[in-house]
Structure 1
Amino acid sequence: MNWNKLQEPQQLQTIKDESAQQTVLIFKHSTTCSISRATLDRLERNWKEEEMKNLKPYYLDLLSFRNISNEIANTFDVEHESPQVLVIKNGEVVYHNSHFGIDYKSLLPFAKN
């Protein structure tokens, strides 16, 4: 799985702009949380590049970039959780989930353009 690192608040505008052409996924990960680690591992194990080629994945390390997580909550009007996944299309969140609700099969429909 080829993650794009989300490390600058300005990237949120880029993500909104990109999402007009390609659906974007943001995965918010807490590096000290076992649930977050298990969820990330499960997603990465199941990820198939060919199936997900139309979904651009971004990875946010919550401990290093909590300010960006707060900005995501404000920008997309989605309450912060960890781990959390957001799917953005045309600048809007079309799907979000957290903890063990994050599932590869639930994300698959968003990779179909």
Structure 2
Amino acid sequence: MGKITIEDLKKIKEKTAGIVSQREGKATVTIRVHMGECGIAAGSRDVMTALLEARAEAHRSDIMIVAAGCVEKCRNEPMITIEEKEKATVQYGNLNPEKARQIFTGHILDGRVQENFLMSGD
């Protein structure tokens, strides 16, 4: 095994930053990707991957992305639920990786609810 470089250490730090934020309760946003049987069959794994990539590209360790169970709205899968501190919980449905990235950029980074993908809000 070769020597570990500074770049290797930076990559490890980036990968673990989200996990540490989650454990310490520093997350300001939680994105729940619903991964019940229907969600997985409809493509929620690809949605999860797109969101994880978008978070990494944005260098945002305060955003927690987690797998969640079924919410019994199968016809709307793949779905995500976004929970932000001091804001209403929002659900988006009938997603694909491209729509998930639009939601990440528009809702999470720019603070604009993406009404064209919106399911419900509290």
TM-score, normalising length: structure 1? 0.49
Q: Which has the higher helix share?
A: 2
TM-score, normalising length: structure 2? 0.46
Larger radius of gyration: 2
Answer 1 or 2: higher relative contact order, Cα 8 Å, separation at least 6.
1
Q: Which has the higher strand share?
A: 1
